[in-house]
Amino acid sequence: MKRKLFVGILAVMLVMGLSLNVSADVLSGGDLVEELSEDLEREMGVRELKAAMDDGEEYIILDVRSTAERNEGFIPGSEYVNFGILFFRIGDFVEDPDQEFIVACQSGARSVIAAVLLQDMGYKPINLAGGFNAWETFEFEVEMP
């Protein structure tokens, strides 16, 4: 439990651009994402998500990118909640902790961190592999603010 708390705090600090000034070994952002990926319970690719949406399946899609990133376009129907406040406002978006939902960021790194921390909180997140960059790579529809 203490390790998860430490990793969670470190993740938030790394994502928010803060730094630690310590002489001990500290994980890089990439190392942290790689380590947390091992704990990820569910992941979905953008093609799988798009096919499901085309078949009429509805998902809560939480876009955890920065406001500037969101302003460049977003996955249709996604809801915006900045990573920094996601963990305090998750109940505003997902009322039932047993309901699956998608967590998406720009490249899939922040969403891995978010998904694992949300799992630890008792939710059922699905990480969107590759994030918005992968969505754009396949030239799927993008909404603008």
pLDDT tens for the 145 residues of the chain, in order: 555 655 555 555 555 554 444 445 787 888 888 888 899 999 999 999 999 999 999 999 999 999 999 999 999 999 999 999 999 999 999 999 999 999 999 999 999 999 999 999 999 999 999 999 999 999 999 999 9
User: What residue has token string 């009429």?
Assistant: 56
Residue with tokens 């085309």: 54
Instruction: Check: pTM over 0.85? Answer yes or no.
Output: no
Q: Dig out the tokens for 97 from the structure.
A: 């902790």
Q: How far apart are CA 70 and CA 144, in angstroms?
A: 8
Could you tell me the strand order of the sheet in which 100-104 lies?
Answer: 43-44, 124-128, 100-104, 61-63, 79-80
Instruction: Tell me what pLDDT residue 20 has.
Output: 46
pLDDT at residue 33, as a whole number: 87
CATH node for 40-137: 3.40.250.10
pLDDT value at position 93?
97
